[in-house]
Chains A and B, each alone.
Chain A
Amino acid sequence: MNLEVVIEGVGLWAAGLPGWEASRARISGEVAVDTAAATRPAPALLAPTERRRAPDSVLLALEVAQQATAMAGRDARDMPILFASAFGDLAISDYLCATLTGAPLQVSPTKFHNSVHNAPAGYWAIATGCMAGTTAMSAGEATFGAGLLEAALLAQSENVPVLFAVYDLAASGPLGDVIACRLPFAAAFVLAPGHERGGASLRLELRPGTAALAPAPSLLQAVYQENPAARCLPLLSALAEPAARTFELSAGPQLTLHTEVGLWLS
């Protein structure tokens, strides 16, 4: 079983990687990455007051989604979206669990409605006027691979471009005891069903068995190992270089996504 789609746009935001175009040389390992450079992204879609109030999950997802949509030149209003995150907004989970132990009646209504896994998808729909289907999902350590598969089959089966974003934040509070993420990472891809515009072909084939973790740029090893969203780095590396590439991604504990990325054609 093969799926074939075209990557028309890419978005990226992580510590030391503030945007796809600005980070291509860093992704391909030619320029050092300053992972201490983390600041909150400021997606232009949100008004300044909204940006100040928005949780980090929303800022990260909207920033990369906006970059990828702009690069693809697609109208966000018509694109179904899939936002994937292994852990959701860890700062809000930490806030809710801590508040519930001491003062449950003090739970903030805004934090509560921002706690749903589809909050970034909801903010994206509101900010862009997107009335297509929006989905939020997780699949543990395989969140990126399982999400890429789901997004590609949505694009192919419905014959529409799909916006796929993946993000995970640094853990907050006691949750850090069980979740190893120390750095945030987010990326987005516009996946189109065919070559009507420029882009790189993406061919996915499901194979049984556990995927071997593909190599990633050495300077990004820590975030690659710890943050499930950063498991897209082999795909970003392939897109950053002027050569076709083949590698394996994990789509589940016993499921491998054999991935072929073609040259970027304009």
Chain B
Amino acid sequence: MPARIQPLAITAYTATSAAGRGLEQHTAALHERRSGLIENNFPEHPLPCFIGRVAGLEDVELPEALHAYDARNNRLAWLGLNQDDFFARALALRERYGAGRVALVLGTSTSSIGETETAYRELDSAGHFPASQRRPAVHQPHSLGAFVQAALGLEGPCLTIATACSSSAKVFASAERLLRTGVADAAIVGGVDTLCGSVLFGFNSLALVSPQPCRPFDVERCGLSLGEAAGFGILERSAAQTADVDKSAPRLIGYGESSDAHHMSAPHPQGLGAQRALDDALARAGLGASDVDYINLHGTSTPQNDAVEAALVARAFPATTLASSTKGWTGHTLGAAGILEAVITLIALQRSFVPGTLNARTLDPVCGPQIILDNRERALRVALSNSFGFGGNNCCLAFARGDA
């Protein structure tokens, strides 16, 4: 079992998805049970399904110095950075600690492969990239990390983690190690993923896309709805270690990372990998399952994922723990799901509010009493967020509410 960690303060956080731009719009959409899912309206990706599309990305313009990074994914990153005063807070963090002492760890599954798809649609008659697409920076997985690093003027460790749908959950684990070892004094974490042909037709080829809006944990669920999102957070040593960090900031108290060692695109049937990630997260937090008030589940709405995850929750937690999937609001935002759902979990902790499971009507009988459909008002102290990805890649994050 891993050793307990010193909690880290999350001194700023933000998310942008189909459910809204920033914390207030997400909170309102969650309260009002307003889904961001719409019928797929990408003319270049004709697939009948529902998507969680972020409106207005086409009109986002990057600063001139960053034009070489122009791509839907980096536009969403830029839009996300500019919500909730995050950009100014990130620059203030850089001033406080120094550009070389702030680490940047971002997660994405597809990065800006959508721009490479565009380049392939625009090949010249000899089959080559047009001049406008001869931008190596966007045609590689690190496009996201390099773009945000340039946008924020950071000079510390910077990496782009890509472990499919757990990518931007694992950024918290990497950041915790960077801070604990003293390699960095603060970290900016986050994740961005955008809709593109590869994911729409790729998930379609695996027969995992629902023709209707997704219904996590519903007995009649028949697949996921894909979405896109950006989210960011700032991690600093907590108030106990650093006097000038706000005591009311929520905290990262644990994490667990594991592998299923089972199958590339199907979960372990008994959820052994997910269980290991959960056990490690609780061990690092120094807590037991009965201390957990809420779990934001991976809950993709695919038949297999939800059955395995629901069975794990039913056997590992008491009935007093509440659990839900919020993908009915946002769709499955893949490599951004970890950070988006971490932010939703922080909203729940800080505002004493538990989102239910949107769109689901009749829970699968495999679900225990923990999984709820309706929203609840309840003061929470500790909450978890689950993220599982292809390759059998699992991450579980543990957060605590800030001191009142």
Using a CB–CB cutoff of 8 Å, the interface residues on chain A facing chain B are 1, 3, 80, 85-88, 93, 96-98, 100-101, 104-105, 107-109, 112-119, 121-123, 125-126, 128-140, 143, 146-147, 149-150, 153-154, 156-158, 174-175, 177-179, 206, 208, 251-255
Segment of B29-37, B149-157, B286-294, B325-333 in the binding face: B149-157
List of A residues within 8 angstroms of B204 by Cβ? 105, 107
B177 touching A133 by the CB < 8 A rule? Answer: no
Is B10 engaged at the interface, CB distance under 8 Å to the other chain? no
B257-295 CB mask vs A (1 if < 8 Å, else 0) is 111111111000000110010000000000000000000
Enumerate 16 A-B pairs (CB-CB under 8 Å) in ascending A order: A80-B257, A96-B113, A97-B113, A109-B207, A114-B264, A118-B391, A122-B390, A131-B272, A139-B142, A139-B158, A178-B136, A179-B140, A208-B100, A251-B157, A252-B156, A255-B100
- Our count of residue pairs bridging A and B at CB distance below 8 angstroms stands at 226
Query: Given the interface contacts A86-B142, A101-B121, A139-B142, does A121 sit within 8 Å of B163 by beta carbon?
Result: yes
Query: Given the interface contacts A1-B183, A113-B206, A177-B129, does A146 sit within 8 Å of B259 by beta carbon?
Result: no
- How far, in Å, is B252 (CB) from chain A's closest CB? 15
**A154, B183: Cα distance in complex, Å:** 12
- How far, in Å, is B264 (CB) from chain A's closest CB? 5
Name which residue of chain A comes closest to B259, CB basis: A125
List of A residues within 8 angstroms of B182 by Cβ? 1
**A153, B156: Cα distance in complex, Å:** 15
B164 touching A116 by the CB < 8 A rule? Answer: yes
- How far, in Å, is B66 (CB) from chain A's closest CB? 14
From A105, A113, A125, A208, give the contact of B261 (CB < 8 A).
Answer: A125
Query: Given the interface contacts A108-B205, A138-B142, A153-B177, does A126 sit within 8 Å of B262 by beta carbon?
Result: yes
A122 touching B206 by the CB < 8 A rule? Answer: no
From A125, A129, A158, A175, give the contact of B2 (CB < 8 A).
Answer: A158
Query: Given the interface contacts A108-B205, A131-B260, A135-B170, does A146 sit within 8 Å of B157 by beta carbon?
Result: yes
B206 touching A140 by the CB < 8 A rule? Answer: no
List of B residues within 8 angstroms of A3 by Cβ? 181, 183
List of A residues within 8 angstroms of B393 by Cβ? 118, 121-122, 134
B160 touching A137 by the CB < 8 A rule? Answer: yes
B204-236 CB mask vs A (1 if < 8 Å, else 0) is 111100000000000000000000000000000
Query: Given the interface contacts A136-B162, A137-B159, A255-B155, does A119 sit within 8 Å of B391 by beta carbon?
Result: yes
Given contacts A157-B181, A174-B119, A178-B136, 4 further A-B contacts (CB under 8 A): A87-B141, A96-B198, A138-B142, A158-B177
- How far, in Å, is A93 (CB) from chain B's closest CB? 7
A150 touching B205 by the CB < 8 A rule? Answer: no
A132 touching B121 by the CB < 8 A rule? Answer: no
Size bin of chain B's contact surface: 35 or more
List of B residues within 8 angstroms of A252 by Cβ? 149, 155-158
List of B residues within 8 angstroms of A138 by Cβ? 140-142, 145, 159-160, 162
**A201, B164: Cα distance in complex, Å:** 33
CB interface residues, B 235-265, toward A, < 8 Å:
257-265
Query: Given the interface contacts A131-B276, A132-B259, does A139 sit within 8 Å of B202 by beta carbon?
Result: no
From B116, B159, B261, B265, give the contact of A175 (CB < 8 A).
Answer: B116
From B47, B128, B170, B259, give the contact of A130 (CB < 8 A).
Answer: B259
B123 touching A174 by the CB < 8 A rule? Answer: yes
Is B197 engaged at the interface, CB distance under 8 Å to the other chain? yes
B390 touching A135 by the CB < 8 A rule? Answer: no
**A112, B265: Cα distance in complex, Å:** 10
Query: Given the interface contacts A116-B162, A137-B160, does A100 sit within 8 Å of B2 by beta carbon?
Result: no
**A130, B178: Cα distance in complex, Å:** 24
Nearest 6 interchain pairs by C-beta? A122-B391, A133-B257, A117-B162, A112-B202, A254-B155, A125-B259
Is B348 engaged at the interface, CB distance under 8 Å to the other chain? no
**A86, B160: Cα distance in complex, Å:** 10
**A135, B120: Cα distance in complex, Å:** 29
**A118, B166: Cα distance in complex, Å:** 10
List of B residues within 8 angstroms of A255 by Cβ? 100, 155-158
- How far, in Å, is A228 (CB) from chain B's closest CB? 9
Is B347 engaged at the interface, CB distance under 8 Å to the other chain? no
- How far, in Å, is B163 (CB) from chain A's closest CB? 4
**A122, B273: Cα distance in complex, Å:** 12
